[in-house]
Amino acid sequence: MKWILMIGSLLLLSGCQAAASNEDHINILFFADEMMGKEKEVEQLLMERTGPDQPVDVSIYPLSREKFSVLLAERAGDVYVTEPAFVQGLLTQNGLTPLDELMPPDVQDDYTENRKTGERHLYGLPVQRANSIFASLKGELPDEMTAILPSFSAKQEESKAVLRGMLDDGKEEVLE
């Protein structure tokens, strides 16, 4: 009975999704209470790093496991960014794109082993406010977040470019 109620709730919630955004945009979903209402500032920061040829749509939701799960099940975004605890259980599962190329090879602390394949990869990209383009959003962003790129995203390379831009400290020119 409990599962029936949960599935029914998920179906009801799935009808409450935001309007579909432009097809050519990278959809980035943040889950952080501190960031509520900062969509335009975050979009601007990302667009400054990735350039006008790679438009992004940023949606910010309250920190909620239920909302995160529903939007992930709906495949609503290309990139999901939230607190590390929210994605920890997903990092050992199939369905996430390895992000090894975005980190130096000697940084292995955040690599996890895929239960099915046994391979070690970086599936959850650590985004620390102090070492990212979000440093200017003091107090409006958690100190540490994790970004994931689900394998269902049709914009894998573009999403990786946006993630690369997130990690950049803003000292270089627009990413190619």
Per-residue model confidence as pLDDT tens for the chain (176 residues): 443 344 444 444 444 444 344 678 999 999 998 888 889 999 998 998 888 888 999 999 999 999 999 999 999 999 999 999 888 888 877 788 999 998 876 677 788 887 778 888 888 999 887 778 888 776 667 888 999 999 999 999 999 999 998 886 544 433 33
CB atoms within 10 A of CB 160: 19
- Answer yes or no: is 96 within a domain: yes
Residue 139 has a pLDDT of 64
Query: What is the number of structural domains in the chain?
Result: 1
- Answer yes or no: is 67 within a domain: yes
- The CATH number of whichever domain residue 101 belongs to comes to 3.40.190.10
Domain that holds residue 56: 22-167
- Answer yes or no: is 99 within a domain: yes
- Answer yes or no: is 156 within a domain: yes
| Residue 126, CB-side half-sphere exposure with 13 Å CA sphere | 13
CA distances from 51 to 47, 54, 134 (A): 5, 6, 16
- Answer yes or no: is 14 within a domain: no
Residue 22 has a pLDDT of 63
- Answer yes or no: is 15 within a domain: no
- Answer yes or no: is 125 within a domain: yes
Residue 49 has a pLDDT of 86
Contact at 8 Å (CB) between 142 and 83? yes
- Answer yes or no: is 142 within a domain: yes
